[in-house]
Amino acid sequence: MFSISIMTLTLILISTIMMILASILSKKTLMDREKCSPFECGFDPKSSSRLPFSLRFFLITIIFLIFDVEITLILPMILIIKVSNIMMWSMTSIIFIIILIIGLYHEWNQGMLNWSN
């Protein structure tokens, strides 16, 4: 037990020393002109790269991500139908799908699914 603790402390000490040496010896500056400028295929950009992005696109992406995660939760439910209680499985599935339908209806009612606006 004692040798494991000594070995752990030695490894922590060596890694800390290496991190400190790497940060001291690196040639990194705080403001590098090349890193602060926008990169566009090796050429200077024609316009400002700090244009605001579409919030609508961001919301559609979040909706897609949420429904994608929900699909990954639904797929294993198909596999466990044989080994679980059918009444409990059906109640869980129905409640989960009702929650999805209510969320979809809310997004539809709020106009989040209308891309043309």
Instruction: Parse the chain into domains and list their residue ranges.
Output: 55-110
Backbone angles phi, psi at 43, to 5 degrees: -110, 160
Per-residue pLDDT of the chain (117 residues; tens, 9 = 90+): 778 899 999 999 999 999 999 888 876 656 666 666 666 566 665 666 566 677 777 777 888 888 888 888 888 888 888 888 999 989 988 998 898 889 888 888 888 777 665
Q: Which amino acid is at 73?
A: L
Q: Characterize 56-82 residue by residue with b for buried, 16 or more Cβ atoms within 10 angstroms of its Cβ, and e for exposed.
A: eeeeeeeeeeeeeeeeeeeeeeeeeee
Q: 30: burial class by Cβ within 10 Å (0-12, 13-18, 19+)?
A: exposed
C-alpha 114: how far from chain center:
25
The whole-model pTM stands at 0.48
